[in-house]
């Protein structure tokens, strides 16, 4: 849970862009519907994002599995990967039909696979083409279309390439830019290294807000605590956190109060887990594997007594091949016992 040391920080005054005040980043192999359901139990107002879904996957893959979500996940954004304007427009329309609150275009992923498909961070070299994609998507839907990018790629130097990129796309009417405050190196670094090695330049993102005050500027990269988020909100409209929410999801228990000014009591861990257990039991009856759900809560209770035993129990038993479906939820009950939460048998 968030340290009480942060509670003295004054919440900045609200802006007209409060919709993105705190967001959870789209993360491949993590932010699926089960993770998002769990995160929503922790914070009512934090904006959630899907994993990146490519246009090809929507056209040729299992669309229902890729795009369906639980109604409790709102507000939720669909992140698309692609580079063909009309394909993106069609997929944006499909996303709107599924009920998403926002369509986000990935212009920040640096992986080789993504580059080979001509989407992700490599598109930062083609701001006008990105603008064409955004214009087509905006014409196709009535919900907001947003962009997630880096501050630059490869040998682009300084702030000007980023400012030009944003200005070009903003001319389409797009007003929300989520910026990972690191450059992306398209050759020589893995996606993991691209999240860690390029230096953070928060000042570039802060400058965007100064130069484009009419835009909704959301900062991403290296922000791991709510007090850090509050400090960033003195300079920008929103904060997006990623790995921190995976490593320590209970930091979100205080988010509605600290970030959004809610006067409601913070969710209690035992109540969160009771609701998640009910969800698990329901999903098990639909044939979902226990591990597909419990893998998203391994970071819960971090730093608390019994947390290591909780993680070990789930890691060891939730993946057992001979686990009987009717008894699967008991594995979660047993794990919770290690952290002092006793739910009905």
The pair of structure tokens assigned to 182 is 């690191």
Collapsing DSSP to helix, strand or coil, 33 comes out as helix
**Which residue in this structure is represented by tokens 């992306």?**
184
CB 151 within 8 A of CB 205: yes
Q: Taking the CA atoms of 170, 183, 222 and 160 in sequence, report the sign of the dihedral they define.
A: negative
The pair of structure tokens assigned to 302 is 């971090």
Containing 134, the helix (H) or strand (E) segment is helix 127-140
| CA distance linking residue 237 with residue 219, whole number of Å | 8
| Cross-strand bridge partners of residue 78 | 103
Closest C-alpha to 299, from 318, 315, 285: 315
Question: Which residue pairs, CB below 8 angstroms and at least 24 apart, start in 230-234?
Answer: 230/6, 230/9, 230/11, 230/12, 230/258, 230/259, 231/9, 232/202, 233/11, 233/12, 233/21, 233/259, 234/12
| CA distance linking residue 206 with residue 235, whole number of Å | 6
| Cross-strand bridge partners of residue 145 | 103
| CA distance linking residue 35 with residue 246, whole number of Å | 9
Collapsing DSSP to helix, strand or coil, 1 comes out as coil
**Which residue in this structure is represented by tokens 């090695």?**
197
Containing 178, the helix (H) or strand (E) segment is strand 176-184
109 noted as active-site residue: yes
Max CA separation in the chain (angstroms): 61
Q: What are phi and psi of 8, to 5 degrees?
A: -80, -10
Collapsing DSSP to helix, strand or coil, 261 comes out as coil
| Half-sphere exposure in the Cβ direction for 259 (13 Å, CA) | 32
Q: Which of 109, 122, 133, 174 is catalytic?
A: 109
The pair of structure tokens assigned to 38 is 């769990």
User: Active-site residue numbers?
Assistant: 109
């Amino acid at each position: 849970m968030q340290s009480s040391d942060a509670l003295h920080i004054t919440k900045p005054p609200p802006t007209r862009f409060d919709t993105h005040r705190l967001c959870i980043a789209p993360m491949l192999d993590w932010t699926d519907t089960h993770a998002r359901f769990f995160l929503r139990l922790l914070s009512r107002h934090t904006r959630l994002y899907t994993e990146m879904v490519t246009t090809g996957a929507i056209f040729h893959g299992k669309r229902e599995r890729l795009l369906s979500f639980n109604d409790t996940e709102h507000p939720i954004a669909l992140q698309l990967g692609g580079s063909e304007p009309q394909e993106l427009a069609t997929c944006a329309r499909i996303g709107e039909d599924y009920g998403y609150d926002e369509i986000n275009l990935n212009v920040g992923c640096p992986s080789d696979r993504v580059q080979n498909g001509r989407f992700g961070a490599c598109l930062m070299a083609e701001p006008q083409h990105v603008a064409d994609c955004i214009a087509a998507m905006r014409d196709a839907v009535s919900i907001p279309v947003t962009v997630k990018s880096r501050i630059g790629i490869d040998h682009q130097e300084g702030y000007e390439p980023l400012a030009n990129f944003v200005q070009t796309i903003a001319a389409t009417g797009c007003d929300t830019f989520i910026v990972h405050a690191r450059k992306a190196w398209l050759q020589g670094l893995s996606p993991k290294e691209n999240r860690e090695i390029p230096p953070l330049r928060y000042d570039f993102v802060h400058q965007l807000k100064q130069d484009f005050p009419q835009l909704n500027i959301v900062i991403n990269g290296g922000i791991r605590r709510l007090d850090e988020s509050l400090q960033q909100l003195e300079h920008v409209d929103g904060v997006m956190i990623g790995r921190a929410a995976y490593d320590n999801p209970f930091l979100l228990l205080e988010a509605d109060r600290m970030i959004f000014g809610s006067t409601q009591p913070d969710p209690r861990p035992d109540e969160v887990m009771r609701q998640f257990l009910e969800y698990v039991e329901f999903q098990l009856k639909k044939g979902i594997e226990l591990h597909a759900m419990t893998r998203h809560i391994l970071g819960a209770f971090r730093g608390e007594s019994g947390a290591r035993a909780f993680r070990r129990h789930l890691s060891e038993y939730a993946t057992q091949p001979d686990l009987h479906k009717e008894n699967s939820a008991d594995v979660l009950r047993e794990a919770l016992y290690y952290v002092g939460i006793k739910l009905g048998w």
